Amino acid sequence: MLEKQLHGSGGYITAEINEEQAKKADLGVGKLFLAPIGKLEKQNMKTYFCKNCEKGFNNSPNIHLEESNREEVADNFILVERGQYTCEQCNGIIGEYRVFEKKDESGEIGEAKFSNNS
């Protein structure tokens, strides 16, 4: 596991992630982002910084589930859940997450092409 700073719109979260997640989070601009990773478990998030409060916290942010109706966003590719990491003090959004799933694990993803680095 790697301990990394992951940036969102309202601050950043320091979390333990694996190499595969680090690759997803790296959009090639010199820092890592929360949104492409998927959902982080609370126990893997160590600290966070809230831009609104202008301070850091020595615990994980809250996880706010926004929606969990399964929505097909491309052929064989389903948005399962989306939500936000929120500040426990001001409830501001630190960053967002999305969880995707392939409807048929053996099938190909249609429109949206995602590289598989495994």
User: Per-residue contact track with Zn ion, 30 to 59, x per CB under 5 A?
Assistant: --------------------x-xx------
Number of residues that bind Zn ion (CB under 5 A): 7
Nearer Cβ to Zn ion (27/90): 90
**CA 11 to CA 101: how far, in whole Å?**
27
Residue 55: φ, ψ to 5°: -150, 165
User: Can residue 90 be called a binding residue for Zn ion (CB under 5 A)?
Assistant: yes
Look up residue 20 and give its two tokens: 């595969």
Token pair 């936000």 is found at 84
For binding to Zn ion (CB under 5 A), which residues are involved? 50, 52-53, 87, 89-90, 92
